[in-house]
Amino acid sequence: MKPVRKIGLLLLLMTFILAACGDSGSDSQTADQSGGKSSGEKVKLSIWHNFAGDDLRAKTVRGIIEQFAKDNPDIELDAQAIPPDGYRQRLSTVAAGNELPNIFFVYAGSHSAEMYKAGLLQPVTEIAEQHKDWKEKFLPGAFDPYEFEDNQIYTAPIGMSATSILYYNTALFQKYNVKVPETWDELMTAVKVFNENKLTPIALGNKAPWVAQSTILGTLADHVTGTEWFRNAAAQKDAKFTDPQFVEALGYFKQLVDNKAFQDGANSIDNTQAEQYFIQGNAAMMISGAWTLTNLAASASEEQLKDIDVTVMPSIPGGKGEAKTISGGAGGGMALSKRTEGATKEAALKLIYAISGPEAQKAIAESNSMVMYDTDIDQSKVSSLYYKAFNLVKKTAITPVYDAYLTADAAEVINNGLQEIMTGASPESIAKKLQDAQARSITP
């Protein structure tokens, strides 16, 4: 009877597995759809974010959420910190299955725009009605990426991406007697001098290809074309990316490449590696975003940091844009899923306010991470470099980041286009590719 026993065993195993799969069911999966206020029952609320790591900001945000859970025992909070590497993939997949949590973190730009277009979001404007001063304290333009409809706010931003701060090593500038560049010519002189002394002028880690676009092109192009032109070109109204001013802007980027401003192989090095290359004194400058402050605070010594200072990118001769600006804007924020209703929605709005309100914004700002919110920070709580940068950004005008206004498709094209320019492509050809992509993907 042995064969029978074998089959039996096999079937038993299979039923066991299938049963194990069945019973725990998917009840814990994401949102509670009913949302109604069944008496005495706890309100179920789910939130997904990607503040999963060990850095100060992630810990701060997690702390705020935990505190909220403690303060609201009547809410059953399911908070998920998802590894950032897989965050988009996870969110896209569950969105396809209409299984989004009540609250989730979205990125500014095409990520949130596509979510909105697919009808997955609902406005959080009510928070502004409940807390009058909440909205006013946001810096100008904070809601720009999230104002999909007039007078409606679709996301509460909890970060600011200042993407093009010029970091420089004061020791190296002194040693080689170079002036910190304020104009394009001075920058090119600096590039020449550092190259002659076998130092990399500007460290760049462009393996993830958005880096050069976000940190360099945005501000460079804005200086040449002016903000107005870019907004028009992004909307494909009265301006095109093939216009001569944009080709000229790409030309400036090509000048940097041709004059060997970046180290060899910049396209195969990631941002963290480039930061380390810079902080170790191998490069005199680095053009990077506010995230570099967070990264350096975690991985560089005080001794290394004391030589580093920050400023804005140099002006362009005859440029139509304002000089001395930094590209940036609202970073990601907390969005509310369309399906959230009733008591769950009330609780959700409360949590969003807790994460994006004045106290939370201050706490986030004091975790070496910039916010789009009018708040004062305690100097003793942050790194000295961050404090310098915080004040620099506070007094500087902000211009748009390219990928926050381009479609996902077009952003992909210009990101790769800059890499192509770094390997020899002409500005004209890249301008044309970008124009084609934006024109193609903006029409519904």
Partner 1 sequence: MSTALKSKGFIALALLPALILFLVFVIIPIFWSAYYGFFEWKGLGTAKFIGFGNYNEIIHDRIFWNALLNNLLLVASAIVGQIPVALLLALVLLRNSLFSKFIRSAVFMPMVLSTVVVGLIWGYIYHPQFGLANFILKEIGLGSWTRAWLSEPHINMLAITIPINWSNIGPYMVIYIAALQNIPSEIGDAAEVDGARGWRKLIYVTLPIIWSTVIVTLVLCISGSLKAFDHVIVMTNGGPAHTTELLATYMYNNTFHVYRYGYGSAVSTVIMLVSALLIAVNYAVTKRRSA
Partner 2 sequence: MELTTAASRKKEGRGWAWKGLSGFGKLLLTAYAVLTLYPLYWLFISAFKTNEDFFRHPYALPHVWMKENISRAWELGKMGRAMMNSTLVTVAAVILTLLLGILAGYVLSRFEFKLKKLVMGLFLVGLLIPIHSTLVPLFLMMKKIGLLDTYGALILPYTAFELPITIFLAIGFMASIPREIEEAAMIDGSGWWRIFGRIIFPLCTPIVATISILAFLRFWNDFSFALVFINSQSLKTLPLSLSLFSDGFGTDYSLTMGAMAIAVIPTIIIYLILQDQIMKGMVAGSIKG
In the complex, the residues that contact partner 2 under the rule CB under 8 A are 2-3, 6-7, 10, 13, 17-18, 20-22, 24-26, 28-30, 50, 52-55, 58, 80-86, 89-90, 93-94, 96-97, 99, 208, 270-273, 275-276, 280, 289, 291-292, 294-295, 298-301, 304
Q: 80, 118, 115, 119: which is closest to 101 by C-alpha? A: 80
Rounded CA-CA distance 442/256 in Å is 31
Binding residue (CB under 8 A) for partner 1 from 115, 178, 290, 351: 115
User: Cβ 114 to partner 1, closest distance in Å?
Assistant: 5
User: Cβ 281 to partner 2, closest distance in Å?
Assistant: 11
User: Cβ 5 to partner 2, closest distance in Å?
Assistant: 9
Q: According to CB under 8 A, which residues from 273 to 302 bind partner 1?
A: 277, 282
Binding mask 239-278 for partner 1 (x = CB under 8 A): ------------------------xxxxxxx-------x-
Q: 222, 243, 223: which is closest to 318 by C-alpha? A: 223
CB-count exposure of residue 444 (10 Å: 0-12, 13-18, 19+)? exposed
Q: According to CB under 8 A, which residues from 377 to 406 bind partner 1?
A: none
**Is residue 99 within the footprint of partner 1 (CB under 8 A)?**
no
Nearer to partner 2, 11 or 235 (CB): 11
Q: According to CB under 8 A, which residues from 10 to 39 bind partner 1?
A: 10, 14
**Is residue 412 within the footprint of partner 1 (CB under 8 A)?**
yes
**Is residue 7 within the footprint of partner 1 (CB under 8 A)?**
yes
| Residues belonging to the chain | 444
CB-count exposure of residue 301 (10 Å: 0-12, 13-18, 19+)? exposed
Mention every residue, 6+ apart, whose C-beta is less than 8 A from residue 318: none
Amino acid, single-letter form, for residue 378? D
Query: First CA to last CA across the chain, in angstroms?
Result: 67
Rounded CA-CA distance 13/11 in Å is 5
Number of neighbouring beta carbons within 10 Å of residue 412: 17
Count how many Cα atoms sit within 13 Å of the Cα of residue 210 in the half-sphere of its side chain: 14
Tokens of 368: 């070496």
Binding residue (CB under 8 A) for partner 1 from 78, 114, 182, 436: 114
Number of neighbouring beta carbons within 10 Å of residue 206: 24
Rounded CA-CA distance 372/159 in Å is 6
Which does residue 55 bind out of partner 2, partner 1, none, counting CB within 5 to 8 angstroms by kind? Answer: partner 2
User: Cβ 217 to partner 1, closest distance in Å?
Assistant: 15
Residues making contact with partner 1 (CB under 8 A): 7, 10, 14, 88-89, 92, 95-96, 110, 114-115, 117-120, 206-209, 263-269, 277, 282, 408-409, 412, 416-417, 419-420, 422-423, 425
